[in-house]
Amino acid sequence: MSYKWSNLYRLITRSLCATVLVAMASAPIFAQSKVIRVYPYTTDVKGVYYFLPKTELLLSFDVEECQFTPGELSAYAGVLLGKKAVLSPSKTFKITHVTIETVGVANENLQFSIEFKPDTPTSFVALTPEGLLRGINCDGLPPHSPTNTPPQTATGEAKPSSVSVALPREYAQATSLAMRAKIASGHLFSLREDLLDLLSGKAENAPRQGEAFTYAVKLLKEQIEATEALFYGTTTTRTTSKTFQFEPPSSATKKSIAGFSSDRGLTSAGNPSQAITLSFTPTEVKDNSEVAEGKKLEGIVYNIPGKAQVVVTLPNGDSFTKQVNIAQLGTQATLAKNINRTKKDAVAITFDPRSGSLIEIKSSSPQP
């Protein structure tokens, strides 16, 4: 459906004098945007063009990566400590959370114009950096997520332990790994006995309660754990978040969007047994026939989105479900083009830039 520029300019006249709010581009997910105001009537700009959005899905996967490193004395754990240790390093992955969100991207086929009146300087329109309508006479909702977000990966690095093992000097002087293992095991048994004596009250000249007692117990447990790590190794954990953004299908669909395995993590879609599947089911579709047939839209144009159920299923059978608004399943509607904005009468209108829907109309105090 097309609209002539002359008709678009007549959609809203003699009603608003605006400042365009443009956020700084390329902000990270959930970050706030800095606002810049532009006064059209102080320049040659006669109006502000805006796009209605089409909705895209944003799927984020939090993956926990655990990396095991064998201890340097692991070969002697079975003989000296009575329990064998794992001798080979390994890495395992686990999806801990899936987030299903939506974002709006500009629909170039649905562009409209708002004109402004110079004698109402307190009026303004809020736009996203891509030109999506967020609000009239208000800033709209806080930025929920950026539009046009490419697949990306954010990683939280694992933090190594800050506890140092306090081993006897003989350990450093030992000439063989077997001798070091024997010294370390003897030191470990001694630490365990010290902790037992402290907890049972048998330790002489030791605190029995209070902060000093708590600190002594904590210190002994840390040293025991650090010494055991020489035999049984350490495991470091980090969390990786990967995001996929894509346009949803127009009808009910079930498809593979990625793969996952416990030893490789997230992979491209391939092996059906390791597939992460997306089920998309429209649950509410608006009649768009009148708009499609060329019905004239006069006023402030916005979307009435449809709804869909999105289900993401992991290879282990765990699923995550969310009901979302989808602009493409809906239609367009209009508000009256005469929106007063004076010192005595201030009307604020909020829109959702993800779906183009009308959220709220309320009175508000004039902006400075």
Query: DSSP letters along 300-348, please?
Result: EEEEEEEEEEEEEE-TTS-EEEEEEEEEEEEEEEEE-S---BSSS-BEE
Distances (CA, A) of 39 to 53, 348, 365, 367: 24, 18, 19, 13
pLDDT band at 7 (very low <50, low <70, confident <90, very high): very low
- Distant-in-sequence, close-in-space partners of 56: CB < 8 Å, separation ≥ 6: 102, 103, 104, 105, 245, 246, 247, 248
30 phi and psi angles, rounded to 5 deg? 70, 10
Give the mean pLDDT of the chain. 79
Confirm if 340 and 347 have CB atoms less than 8 A apart: yes
Query: Taking 50 as the threshold, does the pLDDT of residue 88 lie above it?
Result: yes
5, containing H or E segment: helix 5-9
Of the ranges 113-117, 131-135, 356-360, which is most confident? 356-360
What's the angle, vertex CA 149, arms to CA 148 and CA 154, rounded to 5?
A: 170
In this prediction, residue 314 carries a pLDDT of 94
Tell me what percent of the residues of the chain surpass a pLDDT of 90. Answer: 50
The pLDDT value recorded for residue 149 is 44
Distance CA 88, CA 16 (A): 70
Q: What is the DSSP letter of 100?
A: E
For residue 20, pLDDT beyond 50: no
Tell me the residue type at 256.
S
Contact 55, 325 (CB under 8 A): yes
- Distance, in Å, from the CA atom of 105 to the CA atom of 157, rounded to the nearest integer, reads 32
User: Is residue 261 classed exposed, middle or buried when 0-12, 13-18 and 19+ CB atoms within 10 A define those classes?
Assistant: middle
- 287 phi, psi to nearest 5 deg: -75, 120
Inform me whether the pLDDT recorded for 119 exceeds 60.
Answer: no
Instruction: Determine contact, residues 171/187, Cβ cutoff 8 Å.
Output: yes
DSSP state of 40: G
Is a pLDDT exceeding 70 seen at residue 156?
no
- Binned at pLDDT 50, 70 and 90, residue 349 comes out as confident
Distance, in Å, from the CA atom of 168 to the CA atom of 174, rounded to the nearest integer, reads 11
Closest CA to 300 of 125, 140, 130: 125
Residue 64 and residue 86: Cα distance in Å, rounded?
21
Residue % of the chain over a pLDDT of 70: 73
